[in-house]
């Protein structure tokens, strides 16, 4: 009986050793595979960033940027260049130190360079990357951070630009379309424009603009906002200077100042500023909260303007992808002409 038991126990040990050996072999195979994949990825590390010694960019594949914009010779950008001189836009991008290597760098490499001026607002100044530190960090202080950013651009650039566009580091912006829309308004008038959330319970009757979709203030609106709305020393200071949802807080402030939101729809009533990425708007797979903030949200191709301006929740890889598709991909035999005489539905609430 003892020998039988020992024999059975020996068989169990052999099975256990076999299982452990098999698992170890699988671990070695999987580890070898991922090591091989990682070695392949190393070839795509952007050398120019490593040489600068700024950050570890191994998180991003190498998508080398061209020296300037490489368009076909036949492409005519005279109208875009004309608007660039007449509709001067400063882009204020809200970010943080942790996002500089990936999100902020993708913005810097793609659409930001098409603004007349861009400024990255973060919690602490980063001289190597080029950010403005405002000492307000975390989602609980996003309102204070945005206000500090607006104060900075007002104090330093208010006489140099016509429009001041606030957006996030995961938003892709087609700057030429932004200028085209803004060219229908006068920067000397108080204008506040973006993707309109019409939830009257959150931001009074006028609603407010989506922060993620980005919104623009005219020079006149910026001055009124900074010198009156959030100026603690002004007797008519009306606005909360921190806490709460940033976009709703800015919307309430604008409403108290009498600055009504301007519509940004095109003539077909399609949106131009988008609080989600392209895929989400095409499929209509919106989060439940969107239905509370937007009355009768529309999905599908008919919801997206041909002259769309922004898309939110765009990761760095998709940002590079969109930039290439929009600016560098051409369809042979199709020449895009001038836009129709009327593109946007220009009015205010």
- Judged on CB neighbours under 10 Å (0-12, 13-18, 19+), 65 is middle
Q: Is residue 314, in this structure, part of any structural domain at all?
A: yes
Q: Is residue 278, in this structure, part of any structural domain at all?
A: yes
Number of domains in the chain: 1
**C-beta separation of 216 from 194 below 8 A:** yes
- Domain assignment of residue 127, given as a range: 79-327
Please give the Cα distance from 7 to 21 (Å, whole number): 21
Q: Is residue 287, in this structure, part of any structural domain at all?
A: yes
Q: Is residue 345, in this structure, part of any structural domain at all?
A: no
- Judged on CB neighbours under 10 Å (0-12, 13-18, 19+), 223 is middle
Q: Is residue 37, in this structure, part of any structural domain at all?
A: no
Q: Residue 146's domain is classified under what CATH number?
A: 3.90.550.50
Tokens describing residue 289 = 């909260």
Helix, coil or strand: residue 172: strand
Residue among 111, 92, 125 nearest 211 (CA): 92
pLDDT of residue 291: 79
Please give the Cα distance from 61 to 77 (Å, whole number): 30
Please give the Cα distance from 236 to 224 (Å, whole number): 11
pLDDT per residue rounded down to tens, the chain (349 residues): 545 444 555 556 666 677 677 767 766 765 665 555 444 434 433 433 333 333 333 345 555 555 555 454 446 788 899 999 999 999 999 999 999 999 999 999 999 999 999 999 998 899 999 999 987 665 567 888 999 999 999 999 999 999 999 999 999 999 999 999 999 999 999 999 999 887 656 555 678 888 999 999 999 999 999 998 888 777 666 676 666 688 888 888 888 899 888 989 998 989 999 999 999 999 988 888 887 777 667 888 888 999 999 999 999 999 999 999 999 888 888 777 677 777 776 665 4
- Judged on CB neighbours under 10 Å (0-12, 13-18, 19+), 36 is exposed
pLDDT of residue 235: 65
pLDDT of residue 31: 63
Assign 3-class secondary structure to 175-197. Answer: HHHHHHHHCCCCCCCCCEEECEE
Q: Is residue 18, in this structure, part of any structural domain at all?
A: no
Q: Is residue 154, in this structure, part of any structural domain at all?
A: yes
Torsion region of 48: left, alpha or beta (phi above 0 gives left; psi -120 to 50 gives alpha): alpha
Q: Is residue 160, in this structure, part of any structural domain at all?
A: yes
pLDDT of residue 230: 85
């Amino acid at each position: 009986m003892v020998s039988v038991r020992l024999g059975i126990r020996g068989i169990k040990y052999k099975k256990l050793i076999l299982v452990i050996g098999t698992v170890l072999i699988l671990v070695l195979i999987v580890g070898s595979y991922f090591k091989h994949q990682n070695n392949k990825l190393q070839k795509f590390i952007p050398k120019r960033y490593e040489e600068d010694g700024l950050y570890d960019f191994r998180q991003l594949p190498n998508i080398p940027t061209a020296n300037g914009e490489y368009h076909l010779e036949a492409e005519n950008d005279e109208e875009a260049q004309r608007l660039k001189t007449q509709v001067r836009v400063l882009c204020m991008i809200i970010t943080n130190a942790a996002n500089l290597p990936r999100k902020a760098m993708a913005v810097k490499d793609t659409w930001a360079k098409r603004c007349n001026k861009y400024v990255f607002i973060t919690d602490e100044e980063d001289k190597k990357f080029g950010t403005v530190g405002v000492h307000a960090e975390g989602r609980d202080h996003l309102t204070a951070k945005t206000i500090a950013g607006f104060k900075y651009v007002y104090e330093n650039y208010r006489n140099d630009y016509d429009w001041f566009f606030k957006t996030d580091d995961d938003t892709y912006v087609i700057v030429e379309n932004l200028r085209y829309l803004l060219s229908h308004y006068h920067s000397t008038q108080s204008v506040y424009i973006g993707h309109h959330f019409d939830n009257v319970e959150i931001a009074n009757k006028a609603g407010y603009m989506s922060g993620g979709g980005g919104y623009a203030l005219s020079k006149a609106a910026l001055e009124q906002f900074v010198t009156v709305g959030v100026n603690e020393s002004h007797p008519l200071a009306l606005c909360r200077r921190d806490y709460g949802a940033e976009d709703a807080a800015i919307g309430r402030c604008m409403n108290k100042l009498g600055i009504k939101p301007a519509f940004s729809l095109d003539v077909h009533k399609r949106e131009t500023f988008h609080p989600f990425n392209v895929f989400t708007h095409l499929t209509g797979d919106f989060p439940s909260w969107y239905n509370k903030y937007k009355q009768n949200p529309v999905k599908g191709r008919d919801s997206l303007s041909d002259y769309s301006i922004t898309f939110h929740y765009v990761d760095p890889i998709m940002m590079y992808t969109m930039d290439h598709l929009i600016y560098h991909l051409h369809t042979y035999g199709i020449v895009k002409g001038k836009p129709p005489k009327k593109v946007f539905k220009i009015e205010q609430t």
